[in-house]
Amino acid sequence: MEKNDIKLIDTEKLKAIMTSNGFKAYRASQIQHAIWKEGANTFEMMPIPLNLKDFLKKHFYIYTCKVINKSSSKDGTIKFLLEFLNKTYIETVFIPSSSHNTQCISSQSGCKMRCRFCATGESGFKRDLSAGEIIEQILIIQKLTGESIGNIVVMGMGEPFENYNNLMQAIRIINSKHALNIGARRITVSTVGIPEAIKRFADENIQARLSISLHASENSLRSQIVPINKKYPIEDILKACRYYNKKAKKYVSFEYILLKGINDSEKHAISLSKRLKGWKCRVNLIPYNPVNSSEFMRSDNGQIKTFSNILKKFGINTTIRKERGVDIKAACGQLKSSFLKNKNT
Ligand code: SAH
């Protein structure tokens, strides 16, 4: 029989496994407590009888990763380079805050989307992460920092909706009170905008938030900077977002990266406002973070303010994203190290 990652087994199933193998049902809670609350990463560490340890070792494993590198920013942000099975590398970012610490997690190693302003796609695509690998990022960072994580943003490497099933399995475990117990409203999935997946996400019975990387309000411009737009044009994405609005009864957030002279003029702001006017939505403006190989430049602060004010005049709830960890290349779009480039392709 193939061994399974015990972290992916839910409480009810684990209880059933216990009782059908001659162990008491409460052992399931003991095992889960050891893993999620005590940070046990071997069966030896668990306060359970020897024969149960032997049984678990025979049928299960506890998936862990290697920490390859750690860089700390002067603003407190820490970026970690982790190694998973088959020399698969990803980065994840810990962003401390006095209220709730946030962690930015990856859903894939590399990315296929090749957005022109983003560093991740440059090193190619290695593979989807398993649900176990998605949640392991949080467990290991809680252990290494000694801090608890209050917010999760799936805004690291990869396109989460290209790895839909593993992502949703991970989100349910992150949210489960028996596991990481992070409120679904505190989990945000950021996507380049895949209409079918947005509709599927709307149909899930989960309160996680949705954020769409829009970056332009006209297809001609968006297709230039986000190539997948040729396959999934803005109208189809917005239609799926309307469905999400109605079905999930939740706001959609739109991310809009500001690229100097490309998509940051007053005309662009008005066009975006007209597209979104009257919607239940928020716009999060992201000042462009420099990426070595990219030809883009960050918009001037005055222009960012003007852009934001136009949106607000149209009644659109608008915020400007505060950048964190730029000095260690841990900000949005900067996740990719030369290490990854060498090893992943
Ligand atoms: N693939 C997903 C999630 C990863 S990117 C997505 O497209 O949403 C997370 C966010 O960072 C996206 O909004 C992305 O467009 C943005 N981003 C990418 N490169 C950036 C850069 N150089 N500066 C600022 N934001 C960037």
Q: Which of 106, 187, 190 to mutate to test the pocket of ligand 1 (most atoms within 8 A of CB)?
A: 190
- Please report the pLDDT score of residue 326 as a whole number: 83
**Pocket flag, ligand 1, residue 117 (CB < 6 Å):** yes
**Pocket flag, ligand 1, residue 82 (CB < 6 Å):** no
Residues designated catalytic: 91, 332
* Cα 192 to averaged position of ligand 1 atoms, centre (Å): 8
Does the pLDDT at position 344 exceed 50?
no
* Cα 119 to averaged position of ligand 1 atoms, centre (Å): 9
Average confidence (pLDDT) over 133-157: 96
Q: Which of 106, 115, 282 to mutate to test the pocket of ligand 1 (most atoms within 8 A of CB)?
A: 115
Q: What six digits make up the tokens of 11?
A: 């409480």
Alpha-carbon gap, residue 96 to 224, rounded angstroms: 35
SS (H, E, C) the chain: CCCEEHHHCCHHHHHHHHHHCCCCCCHHHHHHHHHHCCCCCCCCCCCCCHHHHHHHHHHEECCCCEEEEEEECCCCCEEEEEEECCCEEEEEEEECCCCCCEEECCCEEECCCCCCCCCHHHHCEEEECCHHHHHHHHHHHHHHHCCCCCEEEECCCCCHHHHHHHHHHHHHHHHCCCCCCCCHHHEEEEECCCHHHHHHHHHCCCCCEEEEECCCCCHHHHHHHCHHHHCCCHHHHHHHHHHHHHHHCCCEEEEEEEECCCCCCHHHHHHHHHHHCCCCEEEEEEECCCCCCCCCCECCHHHHHHHHHHHHHCCCEEEECCCCCHHHCCCCCCCCCHHHHHHHC
- pTM for the model stands at 0.94
* Cα 155 to averaged position of ligand 1 atoms, centre (Å): 7
Does the pLDDT at position 117 exceed 80?
yes
Alpha-carbon gap, residue 215 to 205, rounded angstroms: 28
**Pocket flag, ligand 1, residue 257 (CB < 6 Å):** yes
Q: Which of 198, 299, 332 to mutate to test the pocket of ligand 1 (most atoms within 8 A of CB)?
A: 332
Does the pLDDT at position 340 exceed 70?
no
**Pocket flag, ligand 1, residue 212 (CB < 6 Å):** no
**Pocket flag, ligand 1, residue 23 (CB < 6 Å):** no
Average confidence (pLDDT) over 53-79: 95
Q: Whose CA is nearest to atom 17 of ligand 1?
A: 333
As a whole number, the mean pLDDT across the chain is 93
Say what percent of the chain tops pLDDT 90: 86
Average confidence (pLDDT) over 79-90: 95
- Comparing 337 with 10, which gets the higher pLDDT? 10
Average confidence (pLDDT) over 194-202: 97
Is there a contact between 159 and 192 (Cβ–Cβ < 8 Å)?
A: yes
Average confidence (pLDDT) over 23-41: 95
- Comparing 18 with 327, which gets the higher pLDDT? 18
**Pocket flag, ligand 1, residue 28 (CB < 6 Å):** no
Q: What six digits make up the tokens of 54?
A: 């032997």
- Please report the pLDDT score of residue 328 as a whole number: 83
**pLDDT tens figures, 270-324:** 999 999 988 889 999 999 988 877 789 999 999 999 999 999 999 999 999 988 8
Average confidence (pLDDT) over 61-82: 95
pLDDT band for 239, please (50, 70, 90 cuts): very high
Is there a contact between 176 and 10 (Cβ–Cβ < 8 Å)?
A: yes
